[in-house]
Structure formats: structure tokens, C-alpha cells
A and B are shown apart, each in its own frame.
Chain A
Amino acid sequence: MVTAIVYNFRVEADVLDGATNVVTAANQGASAVHRVRVTNLTTIPYDLELDQVLPDPLNQRPFSYSHQASAGAWTTTITALMGPKYLPRTESLDLHGPPMAHGRIQTLKVRYRTATNAPGGALFTAASTGVPINLTFTVT
């Protein structure tokens, strides 16, 4: 698991196996899920958008996102997140290998705005510190 403070949020990223254990490696064809958890450290609610990417070139990537059109990226939206409980988002990975190949997973961007009608809160701002959050995962 990797964590970072991204603006007013604590962001954690990891990969879970089929039994929801945090893992850094898994067998080719096994179940795996990329999980991102966000904790709002403030007491005002925020809307968030998080971009996740697999930054390695397509032909060198040992895994892909299973259900995304691009297979190399997904974006999740969180509405009116009010701390301090975290909100998890997940996307399954297709571990196609080859065996013993390492790949990178990034939370590339975090955009935020104060929720719903806050003065000055209509537009999303991209966080400039704490990102990207980098994970390395191995297909065994």
C-alpha cells in the first residue's frame, strides 16, 4: 500500500487479491483489484475526481483494467465526501503476464472542489502535490 497527502485528503492505493488481502504480486490469471481510498481530513464536503493509469507502454504492460474501454486508465468520481471516514473505489485487473513481469499503477491526478454550491466551488482544481501516487505490482 502507498499513501500520500493530496491537498486536504489522504489517499491510499493498493492491490487486493480475490480474498481481499493486500498483495504486491499475484499469479497470471488470478483475481486482482486496484483499490483507491480517500479520506477527507477536513470538515467541509468535497467532490472529487481521481484518474488512475497504467503508465507502461501497452505492449509491455503485464496487466490491464478489465472493464475499461482503454484498459489502461479509469476515472472515479466521489460526491460530497465528508471526512474523516474514507471512501474506497475499486477496479479489477486482468493479470495476463508474462510471468515475473513488473508493472506500474498510478493515481495520476486528483481534482477537487467544495461540494454543491459553495462560493468559488464550481470548478475542479487539480491537486499539485502528493501525486502521482505510484504502485508497483508483479505478475508471477
Chain B
Amino acid sequence: MATLASQPSAVGDWLTLEEGAATLRALTHDDMALPENPLTIYWPAKRDARRFAQFFNDALPRVREPTTGGRRLERRVAYQDDGTAFPFGSQLPPTAADAAFLRMEHLAGRPDSERFVFVVWCNLAAGNRVTVPDDAAGVLLQARHLTALLPSLSDLISQTSANQPSLSEVQAMLTELDNHLSDPGAPQVQAG
């Protein structure tokens, strides 16, 4: 069984999940700009723009908000080293091959209260390093979507993580995270 350690802070709870030698980090946001208190799961991802773009496209139907009472918007942007932003559609453009950063987001709501429902980001330059930092890539999602995204997110993390966790290890950590979010008052097994 995976373990979960929680560290409360002013910005939310920083979570560390461990299963065997595998580790995964997350933050449950406590932010007025994010009214539904979503969470970000982040990990030391290797450079793999195509896989991240594919994950975003595949996940969208599962997280897309209805348009009732507002609008919804999807934005995909590849940033070059010099900060130039290249918006793109569902197909990853050739310019993404040498991009420094990729950010894809789904927003919904009224223009004056638009909120992020789902965001995938990846620092492609950091993913090229010998030692890839823990915060090289992340996914912001609503807690209610985690169960539905668990299989595809487990795939993405196990296939891109520089630490090479197995699929079953990632699944165990995300399942523990899902359980924690469903019942945050339950006793935690402290890591380490």
C-alpha cells in the first residue's frame, strides 16, 4: 500500500506519495483564484512533448465542462527559449520540437469568473537535464476527475518520469491520493 505524507501550508497541502522506491508529489490548492480547490500532481518528467499533448487531448472529453451559464476555452501554447509563444490546436506543431515549455489548459465559466478546470504543463528544457527536477511537469485537475483520469495519468507518469517508476507503483500512489481526497479526514500513513 502506498503511503501519503501531508505538509499543510498557506497555499495548500503539499503531499508526498511513496510506493516502494517510487515517489510522487502533489499540492491540493487552497487558493481564492481556484474556487473548487483542485490539485496539481507533479513529477520529474523527461522531455516528451508528444506524449503530454496526447494525454491532454485524450483527457479532455473526461474533464470538459458544460457550457451552461458561461463559456469554455481550450488553449495550447508552446514557448520557445526566447519567450515567444506559439498557440496551437489539437495537433502538436513542428515548432514544438525545439520548444522550451508546453502548457495546455481548459478553462470554463463566465468571463469575470473564469477558472482553470484542467491544465497540463511540461518544462521540456528541464526534462533534458541529467538530473530532472521534481517540478519539471505537472497536471492540475479537479479532485472529482482523478478517478476517471487515473489510468491514463498513471500511464503518462510511468512513461515520462525520469525515476522510471513501474505502472503499478504509479497506480498505487494515485489510488492512495484518490482515497485521501475522497476522505481527507482519514488517518494518514506517514512516509519515512
| A interface, CB within 8 angstroms of B | 2-5, 7-8, 10-12, 41-45, 80, 82, 84, 114-121, 129-130
Partner of A43, one of B79, B84, B121, B123: B121
Could you tell me the dominant secondary structure of chain A's interface residues?
Answer: loop
| B interface, CB within 8 angstroms of A | 7-11, 14, 16, 25, 27, 29, 31, 33, 40, 42, 79-85, 100-101, 103, 105, 116, 119, 121, 123, 125-126, 134-135, 138, 140
CA distance A93 to B118 in the complex (A): 41
Structural contact, A41 and B121, CB atoms closer than 8 A: yes
Structural contact, A41 and B14, CB atoms closer than 8 A: no
- For B80, the closest partner residue in chain A by CB is A5
Total A-B contacts with CB atoms under 8 angstroms apart: 86
CA distance A130 to B84 in the complex (A): 13
- For B39, the closest partner residue in chain A by CB is A43
CA distance A41 to B31 in the complex (A): 16
- B residues within 8 A CB of A117? 7-9, 14
Known: A41-B103, A82-B31. A115 touches B9 (CB 8 A): yes
- For A125, the closest partner residue in chain B by CB is B133
- A residues within 8 A CB of B105? 84
